[in-house]
């Protein structure tokens, strides 16, 4: 039995009768036959909660925006900027943290990012005026961008190949869980003021202890750094059988590690341009609606309390969207399921725009939540598989920056439209148009289902 064909044993499994292999081995080959075990469950738990925290941070203040406006005596336009401030800080943060992860490792970036975010969030809670609040939110975004950018590529580099797509889609369920947590906590803490909600956000940084304990460094990254013994130890921990003295084949891209310009050279240039446009358009199509959904629903006659209940129910419908996408992507591939779900989400968006009754409003929005978030689950996986290990963090950081650009500007643009009394239907149709752009841009992208990571 050689190192490539060896079936996985328990974590740390190593036997004396496994013969060393002289020829360098591809690290991805060990993931092809790796069994799913308890160590993977702990990795999923650690990074799942990290994603919940990311969702919480971006949405918690959305649901107490009225309290924020009253505290600082600002209008909806300035509130929109406050809601976007974290995303604004995350744009340069992502562009820094991503290349850093390709050079110093995935694990260190996640740990230091989440820890520094907690410090920044706690300081923001004591902002004496709106300007300081904005500065604190931007700093929080700069800090949080590291773990936000690396959660999925890091996760992909630790999962068995055959389960990589399905597991990553399930990891995406952390987003609606974060939405539900934000809705529940903000309602429970609303009477105590926005500062208490921000303090609760800062305390989430304690989860960094779980990441340190449960999540090892990526063996793909370790091999790219020439750290073969460390990579072997991690693979053993993940359940693979790796003979003593095994060396791994170096990637031909290792000299390009963490260099953003490499994303725009050769065959990667076309993928990068399409990927950037898609991330911007797709996130605008989602975020432009979510940040103002309670306000838009109030235009339809719902109270703030009813609107938040509507948001919570929408989040629940996201979960079966993720599950269905997870089950289908392994059978039909990333691309077919993503295109189908985005198309269905666009149709649901048009139906939502023209809903004449409360029942129609509910059905259309729940369909929109189901299909758009199912598509996000697939995209979070697909988007992380376009680049080699040496550029995966850098590529994902540019993808994240494009998403965050939409997250930054969409709330303000939609707020401007609402201030100009554009109306419910016209505003929702404007947002939905970005889903159509997403569909068109995704068509030329390559399928990656079942492919080994490079």
8 Å CB contact between 7 and 33: yes
CB atoms within 10 A of CB 49: 17
Q: Any residues with CB less than 8 A from the CB of 272 and at least 6 apart, and which? A: 263, 264, 395, 398
User: Cα(65)–Cα(418) distance, rounded to whole angstroms?
Assistant: 15
Q: What is the pLDDT of residue 277?
A: 95
- As a whole number of angstroms, the longest Cα–Cα distance in the chain is 75
Q: Strand ranges (DSSP E) for 228-272? A: none
Q: What percent of the chain has pLDDT over 70?
A: 82
- For residue 302, being part of any structural domain is answered with yes
In a domain, 223, yes or no: no
> Helix, strand, or coil here: 301?
coil
pTM: 0.78
Residue 185 is assigned to a structural domain of this protein = yes
Distance, CA of 420 to CA of 410 (rounded, Å):
15
Which residues span the domain enclosing 389? 38-215+251-442
Structure tokens at 341: 């779900």
What would the two tokens of residue 357 be? 């009754």
| Residue labelled with tokens 């975010």 | 117
Whether 408 is covered by a domain: the verdict is: yes
Count of C-beta atoms within a 10 Å radius of residue 19 = 12
Weakly modelled stretches of the chain, pLDDT under 70: 1-22, 59-60, 62-71, 74-77, 80, 186, 189-191, 250-258, 290-292, 294-296, 298-308, 418-422
Residue 236 lies in a domain: no
Would 194 be classed as within a structural domain?
Answer: yes
* Count of structural domains within the chain: 1
Q: Kindly tell me the burial class for residue 191, based on how many C-beta atoms sit within 10 Å of its own C-beta (0-12, 13-18, 19 or more).
A: exposed
Q: Residue written as tokens 């290990």?
A: 389
290 in a structural domain: yes
Number of C-beta neighbours around residue 399 at 10 A: 28
Q: Mean pLDDT of all residues in the chain? A: 82
What's the confidence (pLDDT) of residue 202?
A: 83
CATH code of residue 195: 1.20.1250.20
Residue 255: per-residue pLDDT: 55
In a domain, 370, yes or no: yes
pLDDT in tens, 333-383: 889 999 999 999 999 989 988 887 878 888 888 888 899 989 988 998 888
Burial 363-397 (b: 16+ CB within 10 A, else e): ebbbbbbbbbbbbbbbbbbbbbbbbbbbbbbbbbb
């Amino acid at each position: 039995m050689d190192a490539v064909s060896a079936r996985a044993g328990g974590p740390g499994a190593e036997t004396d009768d496994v013969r060393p292999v002289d020829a360098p081995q591809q690290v991805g080959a060990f993931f092809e036959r790796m069994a799913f075990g308890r160590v993977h469950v702990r990795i999923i738990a650690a990074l799942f909660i990290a994603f919940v925290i990311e969702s919480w941070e971006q949405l918690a203040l959305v649901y107490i925006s009225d309290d924020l406006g009253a505290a600082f005596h600002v209008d909806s336009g300035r509130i929109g900027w406050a809601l976007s401030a974290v995303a604004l800080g995350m744009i340069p943060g992502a562009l820094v943290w991503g290349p850093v992860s390709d050079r110093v490792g995935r694990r260190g970036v996640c740990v230091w990012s989440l820890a520094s975010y907690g410090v920044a969030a706690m300081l923001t809670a004591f902002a004496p005026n709106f300007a300081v609040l904005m500065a604190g939110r931007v700093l929080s975004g700069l800090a949080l961008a590291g773990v936000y950018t690396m959660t999925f590529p890091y996760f992909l580099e630790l999962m068995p190949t055959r389960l990589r797509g399905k597991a990553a889609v399930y990891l995406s369920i952390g987003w609606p869980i974060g939405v539900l947590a934000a809705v529940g906590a903000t309602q429970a803490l609303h009477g105590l003021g926005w500062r208490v909600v921000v303090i609760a956000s800062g305390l989430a940084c304690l989860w960094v202890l779980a990441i340190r304990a449960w999540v090892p460094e990526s063996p793909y990254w370790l091999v790219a750094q020439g750290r073969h013994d460390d990579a072997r130890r991690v693979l053993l921990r993940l359940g693979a059988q790796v003979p003593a003295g095994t060396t791994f084949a170096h990637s031909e891209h290792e000299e390009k590690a963490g260099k953003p310009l490499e994303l725009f050279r050769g065959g990667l240039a076309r993928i990068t341009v399409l990927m950037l446009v898609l991330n911007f358009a797709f996130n605008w199509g989602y975020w432009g609606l979510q940040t103002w959904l309670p306000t838009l629903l109030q235009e339809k006659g719902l109270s703030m309390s009813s609107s938040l209940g509507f948001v919570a129910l929408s989040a629940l419908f996201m979960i079966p969207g993720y599950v269905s996408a997870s089950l289908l992507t392994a059978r039909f591939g990333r691309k077919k399921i993503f295109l189908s779900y985005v198309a269905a989400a666009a149709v649901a968006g048009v139906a939502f725009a023209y809903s004449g009754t409360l029942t129609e409003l509910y059905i259309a929005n729940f369909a929109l939540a189901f299909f758009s978030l199912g598509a996000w689950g697939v995209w979070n996986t697909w988007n992380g598989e376009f680049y080699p290990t040496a550029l995966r963090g850098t590529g994902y950081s540019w993808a994240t920056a494009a998403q965050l650009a939409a997250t930054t500007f969409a709330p303000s643009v939609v707020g401007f439209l609402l201030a100009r009394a554009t109306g419910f239907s016209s505003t929702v149709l404007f947002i939905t148009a970005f889903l159509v752009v997403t569909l068109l841009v995704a068509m030329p992208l390559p399928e990656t289902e079942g492919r080994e990571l490079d």
